[in-house]
């Protein structure tokens, strides 16, 4: 597939896809006309890269760990610096997850309270339904009386 289709399928601008390629995060083949051609697997790779970037990992670390994410048993030699950096990133992700979880729970609680407040109770619905039916019966009576 060409860069435009990859962009469309991943929601990633072509310029950013070219940057990922420059950084060695994704690869492409070159057609005879010079256009880039990407495989189907690149769609998943771009989504994975974007997820890691969204989690706060820099591209230099992503480049180092991408091979491990594809084949977890093929672990390259990890330097102490890489290990420390990954531990820091893991802890930051955990903190973000905790924050997002708290925010999600607060929004859910708020929504529940608003929906409960705006939702009439069952007895009120029954009374309103009964009144509505009685009102319709009165309209029908008036309509029949007018015809008579």
- Per residue in 36-64, pLDDT tens? 999 999 999 999 999 999 888 889 889 88
The residues near 125 (Cβ < 8 Å, ≥ 6 apart) are none
Q: Is the pLDDT of residue 111 over 60?
A: yes
Q: What is the pLDDT of residue 9?
A: 96
Give 69 or 123, the one with higher predicted confidence.
69
Q: Is the pLDDT of residue 148 over 80?
A: no
In this structure, are residues 42 and 26 in contact, taking their beta carbons and an 8 Å threshold? yes
- To the nearest 10°, the Cα dihedral for 102, 106, 111, 113? 140
DSSP at 26:
S
- With bands split at pLDDT 50, 70 and 90, how would you rate the model's confidence at 109? very high
Q: Is the pLDDT of residue 110 over 60?
A: yes
Write out the DSSP string of 67-125.
HHHHSTT-PPPPPHHHHHHHHHHHHHHHHHHHHHHHHHHHHHHHHHHHHHHHSPPHHHH
């Amino acid at each position: 597939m060409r860069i435009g289709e990859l962009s469309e399928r991943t929601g990633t601008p072509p310029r950013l896809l070219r940057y990922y390629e420059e950084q060695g995060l994704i690869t492409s083949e070159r057609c005879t006309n010079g256009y880039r051609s990407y495989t189907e697997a690149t769609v998943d790779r771009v989504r994975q890269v974007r997820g890691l970037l969204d989690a706060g990992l820099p591209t230099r670390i992503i480049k180092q760990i991408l091979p491990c994410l594809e084949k977890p048993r093929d672990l390259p030699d990890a330097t102490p610096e890489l290990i420390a950096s990954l531990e820091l990133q893991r802890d930051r992700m955990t903190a973000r997850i905790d924050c997002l979880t708290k925010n999600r729970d607060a929004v859910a609680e708020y929504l529940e309270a608003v929906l409960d407040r705006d939702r009439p109770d069952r007895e009120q619905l029954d009374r309103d339904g009964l009144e509505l039916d009685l009102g319709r019966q009165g309209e029908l009576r008036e309509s029949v009386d007018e015809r008579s």
